[in-house]
Amino acid sequence: MESIIKKSIVLILIISIFSCQVDSNCGSVNVDYVTFSTVTLNANLKEITKNVRFDSVFSPQTDSVFAYQDTSFISSFRLPLSPVENQTDFFFYYSVDIAGDTVSYGDTIRFTYEKRNRVDSPECGIDLEFIGMDTAYQTFDSLIIVNDTLKRTINAPNIKLFIF
């Protein structure tokens, strides 16, 4: 009898360890931005980085301008999605070097997604999660959604933009 009680207590204690989970501390893993990388294909059809210089990047959903007359060339960047609607449009005006010449482009992407609210805590407020991100419309040469999950813990870009 005693041993049954002792074993039951030990079992409950062990399981209680797994029942303990760390309280949240306002450190949400969800992010509100999409990460991009710009790539092209070389002669062997291998993916290589393609640097672009943004003349301007903006969205009709906001007065904010995300890039304006940048001077540096970049191959990765991120843009915030609108929490107000279930879609965000971005207009890109950019330049690339092709065989020593600077060529300018203008392209558009419309992202669609669903929003999922979660109360984190009275102190931390609302945590907004963007799920099921997709493109409803886009004019780039090619585009791949590498992952549609907007989380801080994922290192890979969400979107690969192919520029030829």
CA angle 103, 104, 110 (to 5 degrees): 135
Segment contacting another protein by CB under 8 A, of 14-22, 70-78, 104-112, 147-155: 14-22
Q: For residues 74 and 157, give the distance between their C-alpha atoms in angstroms, rounded to a whole number.
A: 14
Q: What is the SS3 assignment for 102? A: strand
Segment contacting another protein by CB under 8 A, of 10-18, 41-49, 94-102, 155-163: 10-18
8 belongs to the binding site for another protein (CB under 8 A): yes
HSE-CB for 119 with a 13 A CA cutoff: 3
Segment contacting another protein by CB under 8 A, of 69-77, 89-97, 124-132, 142-150: 124-132
Q: What residues contact 113, with CB distance under 8 A and at least 6 apart?
A: 81, 86, 87, 130, 131, 132, 133, 134
15 belongs to the binding site for another protein (CB under 8 A): yes
Residues in 65-104 at the binding interface with another protein, rule: CB under 8 A: 80, 82-84
**Where does this chain bind another protein (CB under 8 A)?**
1-6, 8-22, 24, 61-62, 64, 80, 82-84, 116-119, 121-126, 129
